[in-house]
Amino acid sequence: MKAISIRNLDVVFGDNVSKTLAMLDQGQGRQQILETTGDVVGVHNASIDVEQGEICVLMGLSGSGKSSLLRAVNGLNPISRGSLEVLDGDRMVDLAKCNSQHLRELRLKRISMVFQKFALMPWLSVVDNVAFGLEMQGIGKSERRKRALEKLDMVGLADWSEKLPHELSGGMQQRVGLARAFTMDSDILLMDEPFSALDPLIRTQLQDELIILQRQLNKTILFVSHDLDEALKIGTNIAIMESARIIQHGAPEDIVLNPSNTYVEKFVAHTNPLNVLRGRSLMTTIGAMQGDGNRLLLNALDQSHVHLEAGRPVAAQRGEQALEIRQWHDSHALDDLSENTLMIASPDISMRTAIELRYRTGQPVLLSEDNRLVGMLSDKDFYHALLGKHFTQNEAA
């Protein structure tokens, strides 16, 4: 079910909105509009849906419009045209038609925000900072303290509850901001570059912690970032913005493998494809594998083969030597693997893990789904993964 639904949204800052919208309709650019009307176009013709439980990352360079779009979702930025609906209980509410009282209720109960600069009140203790939103809701002191301590424990700061913000490191202060947002128990979290001011190691740690917390709480998160590696790591979907427009929206793998234009292609050219690509996207399908009937070639150089029964790998050999076939699970220890072992994995295996299996066994990785072989990952597929390119049937020919 949709938690956020945006259609043809324009956000304009200035005193000549009607004239600016008319110029946008005529195809005029942001700079020309700024020079003519003095208005700044924050978002133009944005349409996007965010499902419940999804982390959608808005990303782009500085000034692309990502923060302007994010802040429209809780009414901090004006909606000049179009619709922006958020889920309120069992119905969608259009913020473009929402009165000020209803908007305040949405901010108190449905939508929380985590800022880049922490936004902690220096005179309040950590636990009182976390509980502040509950106080605004009229929750009693004992109840709001109980909830705040639960969330502080969740982010690993229970022992720091009575400290003042200045006694905490930057990473710890950002955890307080996360705990405050989670304490509100809002359905939607808006996160405006929350980790960008932190050191790289702390930033990576908080990204990992956010992923773990999301598995526990299953919130709908709209996350702003200018870092594609961060977006690929945490995002269920990514919306890339340029000059106030959304120019591509999709799953991380699709963004990397099928950039919609040169702008997106330049973005993905500098990222590590192994952080996002899965075996399914790059495998050599069973239809493209050479073989005869139930005997398929694995490696032309050493003439290794796999034998199938009812589509299931049952035996493999390299020359006269038999290869052990084993099923891979994420819980297995890589150190237990040895050469001359042929691993079978899910098509959803990460390319990083698949390369590790290839390195330790010296063999391709077979991919099986519903107990039937669907393809394999060979050295050629791994090279394409490192280049971030899709290996197609035409290339195989």
Q: For the chain, which domains are there?
A: 2-110+186-271 (3.40.50.300), 279-396 (3.10.580.10)
- Do β-strands 220-225 and 188-192 pair in parallel, antiparallel, or remain unpaired? parallel
DSSP state of 269: T
Specify the residue for token string 């003095």: 38
Digit-coded pLDDT (tens) for 286-322: 888 888 778 898 888 888 889 998 889 999 888 888 8
* Cα–Cα distance measured from residue 43 to residue 273, given in angstroms and rounded to the nearest whole number: 29
Take residue 71 and report the two structure tokens written for it. Answer: 């802040």
Percent of the chain clearing pLDDT 90 (strictly above): 37
Pick from 170-184, 192-206, 355-369 the range whose average pLDDT is largest.
355-369
Eight-state DSSP code of residue 181: H
Per-residue pLDDT at 4: 96
Tokens, residue 104: 């305040």
Q: What band does 332 get if pLDDT is binned at 50, 70 and 90?
A: low
**In angstroms, how far is CA 223 from the centroid of its own chain?**
8
CA torsion, ordered 375, 376, 377, 381, to nearest 10 deg: -50
Enumerate the β-bridge partners of residue 237. 56
- Which pLDDT score is estimated for 393? 37
If residue 2 lies in a helix (H) or strand (E), which one and from where to where?
strand 2-13
> What pLDDT, on the 0 to 100 scale, is given for residue 84?
96
* Region 212-217 average pLDDT: 86
DSSP for 271-330 reads S-GGGT-BHHHH-EEGGGS-EETTEEEEETTTTEEEEEETTEEEEEEETTEEEEEEE--T
Q: What angle do CA 46, 226, 31 make, to 5 degrees?
A: 55
Band the pLDDT of 32: cuts 50, 70, 90.
very high
Mean pLDDT across 193-217: 83
pLDDT for position 21:
96
Please compute the mean of the pLDDT values over residues 128-153 and round it to a whole number: 86
Mean pLDDT, residues 160-186 taken together: 85
Residue 198 has pLDDT above 80, yes or no: no
The residue to which tokens 């237990």 are assigned: 336
Does residue 391 carry a pLDDT above 80? no
Instruction: Give dist(CA 96, CA 330) in Å, integer.
Output: 46
Is 241 within 8 Å of 66 (Cβ atoms)? yes
Residues 177, 119: contact at Cβ < 8 Å? yes
- Supply the DSSP symbol for 350: B
Average pLDDT over all residues of the chain: 87
Distances in whole angstroms, Cα of residue 285 to Cα of each of 111, 207, 265, 396: 44, 34, 26, 10
With contact defined as beta carbons under 8 Å apart, do 327 and 336 qualify?
Answer: no
**Predicted confidence (pLDDT) per residue in 44-70, tens digit:** 999 999 999 999 999 988 889 999 999
Taking 80 as the threshold, does the pLDDT of residue 140 lie above it?
yes
**How would you classify the pairing of strands 304-309 and 295-299?**
antiparallel
Nearest to 93 by CA among 81, 104, 80, 106: 106
Radius of gyration of the chain (CA): 25
Say whether pLDDT at 342 is over 60.
yes
Rounded Cα distance between 279 and 167, Å, is 46
**How far from 268 is each of 227, 278, 354, 394, CA to CA, in Å?**
11, 16, 21, 23
